Every structure is written in structure tokens, then in C-alpha cells.
Amino acid sequence: MSILRGVDLQVGPGEILGLFGANGAGKTTLLRLVATLVRPSAGTGSVLGTDLTSQQRYAIRRRIGMIGHVPGLYPELTLGENLEFAARVAGVSRDEVGGALAAVGLAGVIDREAGVSSHGMQRRAEFARELMIDRDLLLLDEPHSALDHDAVELVNALVEKIAAGGGAVILVSHDRERVARIADRTVELTDGTLE
Amino acid sequence: MNAGFRSQVAAVVERDLRRERRRGDVVWVTIPFGAMALFLLPLAIGVDTQLLQRVGPGMYWVVVMLFGVLVSVGRASIETDAQRDAVSLLGLDPAAAYVGRSMSAAGLLLVYEIVVGVVAVVLYNIEVIGIPWLALTLVITAVGLGLLGSLAASLVSSSSAGSALVPLLVAPLSVPLLLGATQVYEGLRLGRSILSWMLLMVVVTLVTAIIGVGTARPLQET
């Protein structure tokens, strides 16, 4: 079954792209494809200058960040331990963890287990991870969901900061109003086709 | 720049052991069930101490294998899709992930083997002989089962058959380890050479490690 058809999309450095679409339109599949987590069954594409079908796509993963709508933290580990693990695997100094969590307003809950932290806190911790690793491309799936007003403002500020640093951001959302405020451009995905 | 292979392995081991410390699956579930399984046999066959002493070592290794595989597979398959995606995008080498998961499972299995071993010695009055060789057997078995369980979990997570495949995959592959471990004890007890059995266990463990490392990337990407 083909989920995406005839998708032609270019996102440049420092650009924030808003991607809209109904449930089942293929938004998450498109994000996973751009993240190199799914290999396209047909067609061509490149991310950060690397062919999506080549073996070299594994090497660029470290430069791509993704925050999905389900948190990817380990619930048994504290927020700090989750980031420490990410730092060690990605080759970032552990000293960066405290600063990254402070940047998203989580300095006071570094020792709180992710499993007992609110969805909003987990979201912020994932943003802290992406800030710490310094990605060239950031993919966000419903980044504003379950966040209070302050957290939404914080997320928007972080997205703009990443873009200002030259990183490209693709932002999938149902919330057109919020995304339109920060996106440079928006596109609509309908039944696997971009409009 | 990504961290080196050894650093990534160490990070995975530390993560898994921390998760286990908070979950307590091995300490509060597997060890008591393993001990209970050893306790039930004397109840079933009666207090025939000579018979118990004879079947005790074999019973111990069967319990280690059955529960050990569950520990190993369980440790390797408690990641959600979101966690797997996040880890992939950190640049974690799948081979480092496999080795790290296997090593943390091996560490937990070693603790399990020792605790259940003490229970077996007490309940079945098993004679403890050749301690250095027995210790080496415990370590090789723990590492072998850790590697095997992690490989099985990787195979299962990459197929649509789900966890139903695990016993079918692991049971035949763990037979050489079970056979080797029981025969090492028999050899020590009867004063026979145990080198061929030790060699069998080492070879099986090495082959499993090579297959696991070699297939880590293709299995992750399936």
C-alpha cells in the first residue's frame, strides 16, 4: 500500500515549514521518511545532502532530531538520566545536561522520573535533548499538544532559536493558528499528496 | 560526532541496569519464581535425598535456562517504537546496542544464577566442587543466554510473528549451553575432562555474538 504519492518537498537551512493534514494523511510517515527511519519504496530524495536510499543515511541520523507525539523517554529514568544517556550516546559532554534542562525550565526537576512527569515536562525534556545535541534538522510531530500557554511560547522560542542557528525545522500540527505564527511556509498533505 | 563503540555500549549497560533497578523485574519476579520452581520439585517427588541430590544440578540448569531466557528477552524487548526512534537518531550503533543489552542481561543473569544456585545447594544438598570452573561456567552461561535472548528479541521485534516465536527460536539454540553446563558439573563430580564441554559453550557463545553483531543493523532496519 502506498502512503505517500508524488510528494515534492524542499526545506532549506534556517527555514521553518508547517505541515498540516487530516488524520491518516501520511504526515507521520513523511516525518519518519525524512528522519531516515523509513526507507522509501519508490522515488528519490535526499536529506542533508544524503540519498534516502543509500547506506550513508545512517551516518546523518545524529544530525536529525525528532520529537513525536508519543514521548521517547524512558519512564524509569529521571529526566536528567534520560538526557545523560542521550549525551553519552551522541558524544556530547554530560556537563551539557544541566544547562539544557535549565533552558527549558526543568532545572528544578532534574531528578524526577520521566514516568511520573507530566506530558508537558516530558516534551520539554525532549526539547532539551535536541538543544543539547545541536541538530541540523528538527522534525516535530504535534509539538504544542498537551502544553500550557507558557510551554507553547517556550517551544516556539526554541524552534525559532534552532532556525536562527541555521537548522531546518518541519513542524507537523493540527493547530494552524499557532504554527502559522512561527512558520516561514506551510503546506498541506492530503491523502499522501502535498498541496 | 558520535561517541565511540565502547562508550555507547557502556551507556546502554548503564541505562538498562538503572531501568532494572527501578522496575525490579529480576529481583522481585524472576528470582522468586526460579526459587519456587526449585522448591516445587522436592514437594512433587518426596524427600528422597539421594534422588534430589542426583537430579538437583540438572534441575538447577533447566530453571536457569528457562527463566534466564525470559530475563534476557524481556530486557531486550521493553523498548517502545518512540524510544527506538529516539535512540536511532542519537546515532546509536545497532551493534553497540546489541552488545550493551546483552551485557546488562548477562549481569542480571549472573546475579540470578548465584541466588538461585544458593537455593539449589540448600534444597537439594548439591555438592559444590571445582568452584573456579563452576564460576566460569556461570559466567559463560550468563553471557551466552544474554546474547541469545537479545538476538531472539531483535528477531522478534523485526518480524510480524511477535513473541510467539521466542520459545521456538531460543529453545534449540540454548540446548548446547544447557548440555555444556550440566556436563561440566558431571565432569567435575566424576573427575572427567571438562574442556570439550567448556569449549562447546565458548564456541556457541562466540557464534551467537558474531551473528548478533552482524545482523544488528539489518534487523533494526527491517
Report DSSP letters for B74-121, one per residue: HHHT---HHHHHHHHTTT--HHHHHHHHHHHHHHHHHHHHHHHHHHHH
Q: Which residue of B has its CA nearest to A61?
A: B89
Q: What ipTM does the predicted assembly reach? A: 0.89
Q: Which residue of A has its CA nearest to B23?
A: A76
Task: Note whether B8 contacts A86, CB cutoff 8 Å.
Answer: no
Task: Note whether B8 contacts A133, CB cutoff 8 Å.
Answer: no
**Of the ranges A57-61, B44-48, B141-145, the best mean pLDDT one:** B141-145
Which single residue is written with the C-alpha cell 528457562? Answer: B66
Q: How far is B161 from chain A (nearest CA, A)?
A: 20
Sort out which chain A residues have CB atoms less than 8 A from B2's CB and list them: 62, 89-91
Q: What are the CA-CA distances from residue B32 to residues A1, B28, B67, B74 (Å)?
A: 48, 6, 11, 16
- Percent helix, strand, coil in chain A, to 5, is 40, 15, 40
> Chain-centre distance of CA B147, in angstroms?
7
Quick one: what percent of chain B has pLDDT higher than 90? Answer: 57
Q: Which residue of B has its CA nearest to A36?
A: B89
Looking at residue B75, its pLDDT comes to 63
Is residue A193 classed exposed, middle or buried when 0-12, 13-18 and 19+ CB atoms within 10 A define those classes? middle
Which single residue is written with the C-alpha cell 574442556? Answer: B195
Which single residue is written with the C-alpha cell 516445587? Answer: B40
Following CA atoms A182, A187, A192, A195 in sequence, which dihedral angle do they give, to the nearest 10 degrees? 170
Closest CA to A164 of A42, A43, A13: A13
Q: Is A112 on the interface with B (CB under 8 A)?
A: no
Q: Strand A50-51 relative to strand A46-47: parallel, antiparallel, unpaired?
A: antiparallel
Q: Is the pLDDT of residue B1 over 60?
A: no
Task: Note whether A76 contacts B22, CB cutoff 8 Å.
Answer: yes
Q: What is the DSSP letter of B51?
A: H
Who among A64, A90, A126 is closest to B2 (CB)?
A: A90
Looking at residue B88, its pLDDT comes to 93
Q: What residue ranges of chain A have pLDDT lower than 50?
A: none
Tell me the three state secondary structure of residue A185: strand
Q: What span, in angstroms and rounded, lies between the C-alpha atoms of B96 and B93? A: 5
Tell me the three state secondary structure of residue A11: coil
Q: Which residue of B has its CA nearest to A89?
A: B8
Q: For the segment B47-106, what is each residue's pLDDT rounded down to a tens digit?
A: 788 898 889 999 999 999 888 877 777 765 668 889 999 999 999 999 999 999 999 999
Q: For the segment A174-184, what is each residue's pLDDT rounded down to a tens digit?
A: 888 888 888 99
Cell of B132: 573456579
Interface test mutation site (partner B, options A78, A85, A89, max chain B beta carbons within 10 A):
A89
Sort out which chain A residues have CB atoms less than 8 A from B82's CB and list them: 68, 70-72
Is residue B102 within 8 A of residue B150, CB to CB? The reply is yes
Looking at residue A42, its pLDDT comes to 81
Is residue A120 classed exposed, middle or buried when 0-12, 13-18 and 19+ CB atoms within 10 A define those classes? middle
Who among B15, B18, B90 is closest to A90 (CB)?
A: B90
Q: How confident is the model at residue B181 (pLDDT cuts 50, 70, 90)?
A: very high
The pTM of the full predicted model, rounded to 2 decimals, is 0.89
